[in-house]
Amino acid sequence: MYETIEAIYDEGKIFPLYEKIEVKRAKVFITIVENMEAEEPQGVPLKNLMQCKGVFRKFPEGIEYQKELRDEW
């Protein structure tokens, strides 16, 4: 089983940031990210997305959608 855990590596020790690691011993693959400064948030804030609520019509279920397409022809 593979599991990705965000952690800090400091002087030979690994400190998980969020969850406790349940295994006592395991083989690990480590990817080192050198920049430890806080990253700028990406994307659109949720409050801006809420302004778009209801813009797109709700998609009907599969069979209903197929019937709708056939009726257009």
- Answer whether 0.95 is exceeded by the pTM: no
At which residue do the structure tokens 């778009």 appear? 52
User: Which stretches does DSSP call E strand in 1-73?
Assistant: 7-10, 13-16
Q: What are all long-range contacts of 35-40, with beta carbons under 8 Å and residues at least 24 apart?
A: 36/8
Q: What is the pLDDT of residue 19?
A: 76
Helix (H, G, I), strand (E, B) or coil at 37: coil
Identify the bridge partners of residue 9 per DSSP, sorted by sequence position: 14
What's the pLDDT score for residue 18? 81
Instruction: Report domain extents, the chain.
Output: 7-34+44-72
Give the residue ranges of the chain where pLDDT is below 70.
35-41, 57, 59-60, 72-73
- Closest of 44, 47, 14 to residue 31, by C-alpha: 14
